[in-house]
Structure 1
Amino acid sequence: MKRLAYLLLSGLTLATMSSCSKDDATPAGPREYQVEYRISSPTAPQSDYLSYDNESGGTTTLSNIPLPATYRFKRTLKQGDHLSLLASLDGGTAASEITAAILLDGREVRKETGRGAGAQAVPVYVIGQ
């Protein structure tokens, strides 16, 4: 019985370890990515405020943006660098909703949805995370 328990535990450990490995290991050195931000709302025609990390590593801030909105650019990033996006609705209702997503090379890496009168979505992604 101990041997069976040991075999089951060993098999479970191996399965867990193999499922934790990254399929798309991020190289430690700099690499160019296609960055895309997507902002949408099923309840509002525009976002009152939008702020995101741009192609130069600075911050772009916009007001009264029609939704849905998409921003794309190429940026060289290395492990540990981050991308962030903040989108908000002002003066909504309890049913208001806004969603913001970060995509790298066409793959969604982070998505957040904010709800309520002052809804905010703030996804942040760290390269290599």
Structure 2
Amino acid sequence: MKRLTYLLLSGFTLAFAVSCSKDDATPAGAREYQVEYRISSTTAPASDYISYDNESGGTTTMNNVPLPATYRFKRTMKQGDHVGLLASLDGGTATSEITASILLDGREVKKETGRGADAQAVPVYVIGQ
């Protein structure tokens, strides 16, 4: 009876451990990424407000930024960390638009376009997503 209990308990433990394993090919350890943000508009010469996650993980904010604008830096991140930005136009028209993109190591991972009088583009990317 002890042996049967031991086998059942071992089988349950093994099944539980296997079900909790990750199939994700993204390593959990930290590594350095080349982060690039691109902001552009075909309808406005400037963004009234830009805010982005910077190289230290903090936030950089700017007002009245001429477009197009690009920001590049290196940042060490691990799975679950994120990068994001917000770019907006204020007082435009219904046809106004602004586009913001996030690139990691030269590959575009997220892109959003906001449209309208108060257009906003807010892409966010989570490492391992």
Q: CA deviation at 1:27?
A: 1.4
CA distance, structure 1, for counterparts of residue 37 and residue 26 of structure 2: 20
**Higher-Rg member (1/2):** 2
1:99 matched residue in structure 2: 99
Task: Give percent identity, aligned residues only.
Answer: 85
Cα root mean square deviation, aligned: 1.1
In the alignment, structure 1 residue 125 sits paired with structure 2 residue 120 = no
Report the AA paired with residue 107 of structure 1: R
CA displacement, residues 13-47 of structure 1 (integer Å, 9 cap, x when unaligned): xxxxxxxx97xx32110000000000000000000
Q: TM-score, normalised by structure 2?
A: 0.81
In the alignment, structure 1 residue 31 sits paired with structure 2 residue 31 = yes
- What secondary structure sits across from 2:118 in the alignment? coil
CA distance, structure 2, for counterparts of residue 30 and residue 49 of structure 1: 31
Moved over 6 A (4+): none
Give matches, 1:62-73, under 5 Å.
62-73=62-73
1:78 matched residue in structure 2: 78
Which segments of 5 or more consecutive residues in structure 2 lack a partner in the other structure? 1-22
Report the AA paired with residue 115 of structure 2: R
Q: TM-score, normalised by structure 1?
A: 0.81
Report the AA paired with residue 63 of structure 1: N
